[in-house]
Structure 1
Amino acid sequence: MKSSYKLLLLFLSVIALNSCGNADDDVNFALPNGDGLGQGKPVDDCLDLGENDLVLSIQDQYTTLPGKVSIFFKVSDSNGNPVSGLNAEQFTIYEQGRNDECFNTISTSESKARISPNSQIFSNNTLLVLDLSNSVLSSSLEELKSASISFINNVMPATTQESFKMAIYWFDGEKELHELNPLTPSKEELTAAVQGITEDISNDPSTDLYGAVIKSTERASELLVESTKGEKIGAASVVIFTDGTDQASRYTQEDAQKRVDNADPNISFFTIGLGEEIDTQVLTDLGKTSSVFAGNKDELETTFNDISDLVSERANSFYLFEYCSPKRDGSGDNNLAIQVKTGSLQGAVQTKFSANGFTGGCE
């Protein structure tokens, strides 16, 4: 009995250890099927695709006459890290109609399968929140400006897209989250705003870090609601930079952490710390998606780039996959399985679609 009890404790301890640390947990678990597959479900065993190394979380799906099937989903690995850069050739489509014992493979070339721009149904917003308290302004402002501009260039698309926007905020000791630049798809506008930061921008040398976390979380939540009107899917990232700890003491660490932990699953949180006065554990907890730390101002741009890569990968891990189905009107509801392979990793998800009204002529 004692031996069994010790084994149980060991098992629970392993689970607890594996659940700690940063992870990109933005898969929309709020959707039906709390297994991370969104609107999808595990693939039928008859396909014998093996264990999933990748998770395809279906966020939305619809059909368009004369015969197009569109599936919008996010791809992540088994640890919750986003998988970006996939192309249509890495996907395999399987359909099962009422006369099929199992699924049949559909040729991606014959079905004109493609990854399409998802701007019509997807909106991604990034909030860059900068600590402009006295310690930053007096010692590392130019390095922060250079790092922030690099972040903007890495996160925002090369060509302006209305579905990818960023806003920049800053904080000091005042009871306000100051807006440096409102939400915009323009890299040039964001860059100009950062370049315009001067050493006399702040009137309060203190640091209201917890207030900034709370207010930026509230703003991200509002943006998510605004951007998902009209049946759109939305995601947001909050990126907070600081070189110290909370000094204003308007809010507690518990207040800030609770806002982060209770935020919508499609809001990711990143923190960037600079110098020796930061509390790395606090920033790791608040940056529950990922955290990075620069030992000195010369390392600042590198750390910003590390986070910008993660933010960009997250935004680009959402895919709108479309193909022309061979099913026709009268076939009713059909099962659909989509498999993706990248390197040695594979994953698949199953859903269904109605072919009512489907005819030839799909492009």
Structure 2
Amino acid sequence: MKNFLKTFSVFFMVTLLVSCGNADDDVSLDLNTGDGLGEGTVVDECLGLEEGELVLSIQDQYTTLPGKVSVFFKVSDTSGNPVPGLTADQFTIYEQGRNDDCFNTISTSESSARISPNSQIFSNNTLLVLDLSNSVLSSSLEELKLASTSFIDAVMPATAQESVQMAIYWFDGEDELHLLNELTPSKDELKIAVDGITDDISNDPSTDLYGAVIKSTDIASDLINVSTQDDKIGAASVVIFTDGTDQASRYTEDAALDKVEDANANISFFSIGLGAEIDTEVLTAVGKTASVFATNKDELEATFRDISDKVSERANSFYLFEYCSPKRDGSGENNLAIEINTGSRQGAVQTKFSANGFTGGCE
């Protein structure tokens, strides 16, 4: 098995405030799509585990001498909602070697099973893309600045971490996606940038929404290409806010929606609409992961706050589960099953690992 990734990114949100958005289907947006289990498979019938309410989707796995097995996976329910906050004692490990008719249970305490902190494996990149056309600047700028600041406060850690970064872009009627602040782990830097937005920042009162969708997707794709080098896994999220429809007509609706639909599976898309002039059907398609709509500017901060909660839930639904296997060198390839049981919900996934070179002494 390949050496493990050192960074990962993912970062996403789904909720509704006033109006309803589209359903967030985690299974179809897996970093490893497959059949919903990523690199894993359905567990062997000999275990007698019924189909559960939780889905474990394996993203990557690796082994480390002298005998540690690590599995990186995401947990969601069958509706696709992320499941954060799981602990090592809620997992059961099953191994099956070549001499075993079925799987044997491995003690989580004797195997030193643990869940590693997300910061060790995540590199979360988010693009916040703000509509600063004339309608926003003239009527809801202060509310947008307050909502964006609240979002930054909720999403970015208090102490800067290179694994969690955000960039802010804005658009108006020009054929350009303007950079407000480059990708950074500093929440203070981002908040200063937002605070510095003035009502004369734009030179074109129109709205190039479709251009912003296309350009931000290209930027996110470039981030994915960089972060997936050297056996790493990367993901990105694009969050687009607007209070209207595309007016510039430089790009077609089909071109924008095709760009989103054909984007790398590791990119999630979210749209935030404000007011009565938005096209909810278009924004729902742009925000294919989730879309949220507020009826007036006074609801913006609450909308962004709800979204930030879901961002954290999604990020914390990824787990690096590690344990010390009792298998030793010469045992060859072994089957591995991981079951999660919260008391009210259960799920399991199966994979395999090679014990070549394994000895005692794993910690």
Where do residues 91-110 of structure 1 align in structure 2 (5 Å cutoff)? Answer: 91-110=91-110
Whether the 8 Å contact between 1:114 and 1:322 is mirrored in structure 2 is yes
Q: What SS does structure 2 have at the residue aligned with 1:199?
A: coil
1:222-280 deviation line (CA, Å, top 9, x unaligned): 10111111111111111100011111011111111111111111211111111111111
Partner residue, 2:3: none
Q: Deviations over 1:191-236 (max 9, x none)?
A: 1111111111111111001110111111111101111111111111
Q: How does 1:276-355 map to 2 (within 5 A)?
A: 276-355=276-355
**Which residue in 2 is equivalent to 1:182?**
182
* Compared CA separation, residues 30 and 290, structure 1 to 2 (3 A): closer
Cα distance in 1 for residues equivalent to 2:73 and 2:283: 30
Q: How does 1:133-282 map to 2 (within 5 A)?
A: 133-282=133-282
Q: Report SS of the residue matched to 1:233.
A: coil
Distance 1:240 1:35 in 2: 29
Aligned partner letter, 2:175: K
Does the aligned pair in 1 maintain the 2:31–2:59 contact within 8 Å? Answer: no
Letter in 1 for 2:313: E
SS of the residue corresponding to residue 224 of structure 2 reads helix
Partner of 1:65: 65
Question: Which amino acid is 2:24 matched to?
Answer: A
Residues 37 and 151 of structure 1: CA distance in aligned 2, closer, same or farther (over 3 Å):
same
Q: Residues of 2 paired with 1:343 and 1:199: CA distance? A: 53
Distance 1:193 1:213 in 2: 21
Cα distance in 1 between the residues matched to 2:285 and 2:318: 26
Secondary structure of the equivalent of 2:247? coil
CA distance in 2, matches of 1:245, 1:86: 41
* Residue 74 (structure 2) pairs with residue 74 (structure 1): yes
Q: Identity of counterpart residues, as a percentage?
A: 78
**Total equivalences in the alignment:** 343
CA deviations over 1:285-332 (Å, ceiling 9, x no partner): 111111111111110011112222222222222111111111112211
Indicate yes or no: 2:119 matched with 1:86: no
> 2 CA distance for matches of 1:159 and 1:52?
38
Task: Please give the alpha-carbon distance, in whole angstroms, between the structure 1 residues aligned to 2:157 and 2:190.
Answer: 13
C-alpha distance after superposition, 1:32-73 (max 9, x if no partner): x82121111110011111013222111111110111101111
Q: 1:220 to 1:343 in 2, by over 3 A?
A: farther
Task: Output the CA distance in 2 between the equivalents of 1:64 and 1:287.
Answer: 39
The change in CA–CA distance for 1:135 and 1:301 in structure 2 (over 3 A counts) is same
Tell me which moved more, 111-120 or 37-46.
111-120
Contact 2:132–2:172 (8 Å) recurs in 1: yes
- The 3 A distance-change label for structure 1 pair 26 and 195 is farther
Query: Structure 1, unaligned stretches of length 5 or more?
Result: 1-19
Counterpart CA distance in 2 for 1:236 and 1:138 is 31
The alignment yields a C-alpha RMSD, in angstroms, of: 1.7
Amino acid in the other structure paired with 2:23: N
- For 1:342 and 1:249, the matched residues in 2 are separated by 51
Question: Are 2:31 and 2:266, in contact at CA under 8 Å, matched by a contact in 1?
Answer: no
Describe how 1:6-25 pairs up with structure 2 within 5 A.
21-25=22-26
CA–CA distance in 2 between the matches of 1:344 and 1:207?
A: 48
Which aligned runs of 4 or more in structure 1 are off by greater than 6 angstroms?
A: none
TM-score normalised by length of structure 1: 0.90
**C-alpha separation between the residues in 1 aligned to 2:62 and 2:301?**
42
Q: Distance in 2 between matches of 1:330 and 1:240?
A: 53
Amino acid at match of 2:50: G
What's the CA shift for 1:160? 2.3
Tell me if structure 2 keeps the 8 A contact 1:131–1:170.
yes
1:74-121 Cα offsets, whole Å, 9 max, x none, are 112212222222221221111111222111111111111111135555
Letter in 2 for 1:92: T
> Residue 333 of structure 1: CA displacement?
1.1
Deviation at 1:30, TM superposition (A): 7.0
Q: Hey, what's the Cα distance between the residues in 1 that align with 2:300 and 2:276?
A: 13
Which fold has the larger relative contact order, with Cα–Cα distance below 8 Å and residues 6 or more apart in sequence?
2
Indicate if the aligned counterparts of 1:270 and 1:307 stay in contact, CA closer than 8 A: no
Structure 2: gaps spanning 5 or more residues: 1-20
Shift in Å, 1:148 = 0.5
SS in 2 for 1:308: helix
Distance 1:296 1:28, change over 3 A: closer
2:45 alignment partner in structure 1: 45
Per-residue CA distance 1:107-143 (angstroms, 9 max, x = gap): 1111111111355554221110000111111111111
Equivalent-residue separation in structure 1 for 2:192 and 2:242 (angstroms): 21
Q: Which moved more, 1:74-83 or 1:194-203?
A: 74-83
**What's the TM-score, normalizing by structure 2?**
0.90
Q: What amino acid is the match of 1:70? A: S
Task: Return the alpha-carbon distance in structure 1 between the equivalents of residues 315 and 66 of structure 2.
Answer: 30
